[in-house]
Amino acid sequence: MPTMLAVGQEARIEVLMELGEPDGRAVDDSWFTYETVVQRGGVVWLAAIVVGAGYSGRAAAIPMGDWDTSRRLVIRFTDDGIVSAATVDQKHCTAWGGVSTEGSSPSDCLDARGKDLAAKDEQRRGDALIAGAGAVAARYPQYSMKIGEQANCAYPGVTGGRIEFGHAFIVGENALVWQDEFTQHWDSLRVADIVEVEPVEGHFLLRWMIPIQRKDGPCLFLMVSTKKDIDQSESKKVQEQARSVIAARLANRAP
């Protein structure tokens, strides 16, 4: 793995030509990662562990100590695609995490695709969106959202549209901010880009939702929750309150 790059001189395309396709890359290509795992010589000793008796016991084979060395080259780029930094992370690890009757264990080496770097990038982005949303008027620990198919807020039905779930939904003075549970991606909708917050609607399985009509794009059908388990009557009350909070932001926005 090369460890020397001309910082401030080489462009992204030159890095690709020299090192090839990266193992991992940022969503906006602001960094690339390249990884190698070097195995040390000798025999990797394993330990067999049996818990319980007979066939009901659990057996496992695990590596004894860190037997490999993981190195990851991280190349960062400026907004115009020039190399701004090149660093090499190194960690003694075990590329093979062992197996047991419950399945294989993951490696503890550096992640080649840079998932840890991507998570930090996304968290910084979320922090920036929350800061830009202004004073927080309401915060909900859970939400579900159905993204409609039409701009006129016609509900797309049980099978239509796209569904998102998450553990954070924030109503700010200037924007709504939320994080998708599956992708960990933060998103936002400026209050200035909301046309109207329509009355709460009941849909399939008595799911109470807040239709939010955007200036551009299809309607959002939002359901927030203050806790994991909530009955239908309480859910409707929570949606009514959330709708009032969002509608108040529209009433207070600058003309």
pLDDT digits (tens, 9 = 90+) for 94-121: 776 544 445 445 677 888 899 999 999 9
Most confident of 84-98, 204-218, 228-242: 204-218
Q: How far is CA 186 from the centre of its chain?
A: 7
Tell me the one-letter amino acid at 66.
D
- Delimit the domains of the chain by residue range: 12-112, 122-252
**What secondary structure does DSSP assign to 78-129, as a single string?**
-TTSBEEEEEEEEEEE-SS--EETTEEPPP-SPPTT-HHHHHHHHHHHHHHH
Question: What is the pTM (predicted TM-score) of this model?
Answer: 0.70
Q: How many CA atoms lie within 13 A of 23 on its CB side?
A: 18
140 touches 167 (CB < 8 A): no
- Per the model's pLDDT, the better-predicted residue between 92 and 179 turns out to be 179
Count other Cβ atoms within 10 Å, centred on residue 31: 19
What is the structure's pLDDT at 52?
45
Distance CA 136, CA 6 (A): 45
Of 174, 62, 78, 74, nearest to 129 by C-alpha is 174
CATH topology assigned to domain 122-252: PH-domain like (2.30.29)
Separation between Cα atoms, residue 230 and residue 207, nearest integer Å:
11
pLDDT classification of 53: cutoffs 50, 70, 90: very low
Amino acid (one-letter) located at 191: V
Distance CA 249, CA 134 (A): 11
* pLDDT for 242 beyond 90: yes
Residue 11: DSSP 8-state: B
Identify the CA nearest to 173 among candidates 226, 239, 250, 255.
250
